[in-house]
Amino acid sequence: MKKVFVGVKLKRLREERGLTQIAFAEAIGLSPSYLNQLEKNQRPLTVPVLLRINAAFGIDMQLLSDGDEARLVSDLREVFSDPASGESVSLAEIREIAASMPAAGRAILALHRRLRHATERAEAMAHELGLGAAGVATVAPMPFEQVRDFFYRHHNYFAELDEAAERLFAEAGLAEGDTVDGIASWLETRHGVRVSFIKQDRAGTSTANRTYHLKERVLHIAARLDQGQRAFQMATQLAFLEMEEPLNRLAKEAAAASPATHALARIGLANYFAGALVMPYGAFLAAAEAVRYDIDLLAQRFGVGFETISHRLSSLQRPRSSGVPFFFIRVDRAGNISKRQSATDFHFSRVGGACPLWNVYEAFAQPGRTLTQVAQMPDGRTYLWIARSTSQTVGGFGDPGKTFAIGLGCDIRHASRLVYSKGLDLDDPAAATPIGAGCKVCERPACPQRAFPMIGRPLMVDENRSTVLPYAGAPA
């Protein structure tokens, strides 16, 4: 564990519990003077002290780690790289804000998003009135971005939903890997909802996986889905019926007064509950540890696909009973990221695309194969990544299907717990592939795959040598 100074976070934790320095120090077995030094960032937080705080107050230890700090630094760098900021802020200053004043840093991010949204609206209105550009074009935060950030703030774990799903699994007498009949029976006996499997002919008018008719109390599930997919869709509908109050309450937290965000958050939370019901936490974690997180073996046991297992693995963050903290990503061939979840500190870029050296893109060229990669970010952090492409045909012959690449990663310190580390040299830094969060925020000047200069650093053309350097100031 590197030196971590968490004075502001520690003081905030103490004040939230209404404790004096003396009372807080006694609770964790430290002297008041030692605690005072910690709060003034005169001493770094150590592992023994972190464990004492966790034992005394049962908090999530990630709250006092530097994981969120890395994400905050990345986001703040993007904010201060925006020409609209009007100031040149050094990386050292940004890190100081993230480490010592994280709440202020998050407030800066919120204000910047409001600025982008207001600028976008002004430009749209100016266009409608024929007044020309109203300013620099920016991208307003979309509902899916708000929901993604909401899940990230919760480390992709919702105890209330997870525990309710686990209780329901036991109460309904469901069986691992064969939950379709059990969920259908529960829907009918407890909610009067009949499940009907609908076949789609060549001229079918709907490709929906799930359609609920409230008046008739009939749930239509597409017959083309396999057993695991059917169970997931039925469990999602069950979430709307049984978990209405917590879904609305949590979605309201994510919504920021946006109806579209509220609706999207409800769907995401219902899907979370469905995954927790089909793969109950305790049984799933025990199985994952037993097979060293082998996704194929877990898929066979729980009757679902590679993507569903990978998504569930990224949510195993129950306090005192956590699994490997994974990050999950789903992309298409064009590089569009349609899903991204992180139980830990890996930060995905909001600017530009992802890195082409990432093995998640190589998965398209090797369909059906599980690829592994040891990759290192510009900040020196190293990760183990697992990637595989998945495909699904929705219609008949000639109809376009769905093809994605699924990526699942974890910090290198957890790699030895995974079967996918077999044959990899985890201790050699030179063996890691250098990747980045996207060209526009990546610091690697000599990367052969660079498509854009880093924000704030323009390209420089050398006419005498007929070459284009990555950006001004880069080595020739």
The DSSP element (H or E) to which 329 belongs, if any, is strand 327-331
* CA distance linking residue 383 with residue 380, whole number of Å: 10
Which 8-state DSSP code applies to residue 140?
Answer: P
Question: Do 400 and 409 contact (CB within 8 A), yes or no?
Answer: no
DSSP symbols for 23-84: HHHHHHT--HHHHHHHHTTSS-B-HHHHHHHHHHH---GGGGSSHHHHHHHHHHHHHHHSGG
pLDDT score, position 464: 59
The single residue listed with the structure tokens 């050296």 is: 357
**In the prediction, which pLDDT does 139 show?**
45
- Taking the C-alpha atoms of residue 84 and residue 118, their distance in angstroms, rounded to an integer, is 13
Q: Please give the average per-residue pLDDT across 294-317, as a whole number.
A: 95
- Helix, coil or strand: residue 407: strand
Give the helix/strand (H/E) hosting 239: helix 227-242
Strand partners, 387: 371, 407
- pLDDT, mean over the chain: 83
Is the model's pLDDT at 303 over the cut of 90? yes
**Residue 448's pLDDT is what?**
81
> Can you count the helices (H) and strands (E) in the chain?
17, 13
Q: Range with the lowest mean pLDDT among 171-180, 182-191, 260-269, 389-398?
A: 389-398
Residue 472: what pLDDT? Answer: 43
* pLDDT tens per residue, range 426-473: 888 888 999 887 776 677 777 888 777 765 565 555 555 555 555 544
Go through 89-123 and write b for each residue having 16 or more CB atoms within 10 A of its CB, e for each that does not.
eeeeebbebbbbebeebbebeeebbebbeebbeeb
The pLDDT of residue 352? 45
* Closest of 374, 362, 349, 356 to residue 441, by C-alpha: 349
| Structural domains present in the chain | 7-65 (1.10.260.40), 68-141 (no CATH), 159-278 (1.10.10.2910), 327-440 (no CATH), 445-476 (no CATH)
Side-chain-facing half-sphere of 133: CA atoms under 13 Å: 4
Average pLDDT over residues 137-145: 61
Q: Give the lowest-confidence range in 111-115, 223-227, 398-402, 430-434.
A: 398-402
By the 10 Å C-beta count (0-12 exposed, 13-18 middle, 19+ buried), 363 is classed as: buried
Using one digit for the tens of pLDDT, what is the confidence trace for 186-241?
999 999 999 999 886 554 445 688 999 999 999 999 998 999 999 999 999 999 99
Contact assessment for residue 276 and residue 166, using Cβ atoms and an 8 Å cutoff: yes
